[in-house]
Amino acid sequence: MSSRHHIDDFMRGPIIGKIEEGRKITDAAREFDIAHSVVSRLGKSFKTTGMCSRRHGGGRVRSTTPAEDRYIVLSAKRNRRTTAQQVANQFLAASGKQISRKTVARRLRGGGLYARRPVVCVPLTRQHRTARLQWCREHHNWTEQDWACVLFSDETRFSLSSDCRRQLIWRESGTAYRPENIQEKDRYPTCSIMVWAGIMMNGRTRLHVVANGTMTGQRYIDTTSSCSSFPWCCR
């Protein structure tokens, strides 16, 4: 039967008693069927501290105080697109203490901030949201016959240049669409292409490539008035 390498506080007292009686470490270890190294460390600890119970609360000492933790979280909230390394550099300049980016990430997670990709869209102002809500209320009683006469169309632009979109932001859970966490839609200053299409209840348009420019009012009229855009209407 192998010797035990771990002992509880209940066993520590009798073992210390045997050592205090003058028993050898080897004899005490054999009597209690405990590894010699464990009994030896217990005896040395008792001589040093005068305690036979195991000390708790060991481990690495935190490198930051609660006040410094709050400073780290506040720094990320002030600039949500800053990196963990940049926050660490700011902390070094402010406090003179050097911490790693992993420490910064742990403190931010402890403060409820997580590194996430920002939502890329056109930010909606209060006026935008009010107008959309009003539009929904005005049309919530429409019938299928009413909607059958409506064409929903939209255009979008695709960038032809590479974009890894690896920039992250620090945000709380469930706050992806808050204005401070939204990345404004790209203007595509480099090479790009625009496409347009529409849908109706009984069909859809073809996909139109808008070359050399944007979907202007005249182009919209020309596209929607063309029979080729709505093949089901030409039957």
pLDDT for res 38 = 83
pLDDT for res 162 = 60
62 vs 166, more confident: 62
Backbone CA torsion sign across 53, 59, 61, 62: negative
221 vs 232, more confident: 221
In residues, how long is the chain? 235
166 vs 183, more confident: 183
Which of 135-144, 170-179, 226-235 is the most confident on average? Answer: 135-144
Output phi, psi for 28, to 5 deg.
Answer: -65, -40
4 vs 159, more confident: 159
In angstroms, the Cα distances linking 190 to 15, 24, 156, 162 are 78, 82, 15, 10
pTM of the model: 0.52
What is the mean predicted confidence (pLDDT) over 135-161? 88
Specify whether the CB–CB gap between 95 and 68 falls below 8 A. Answer: yes
Residue 109 CA to residue 175 CA, distance in Å, equals 15
The answer to whether residue 221 scores a pLDDT higher than 70 is: yes
Mean per-residue pLDDT of the chain? 81
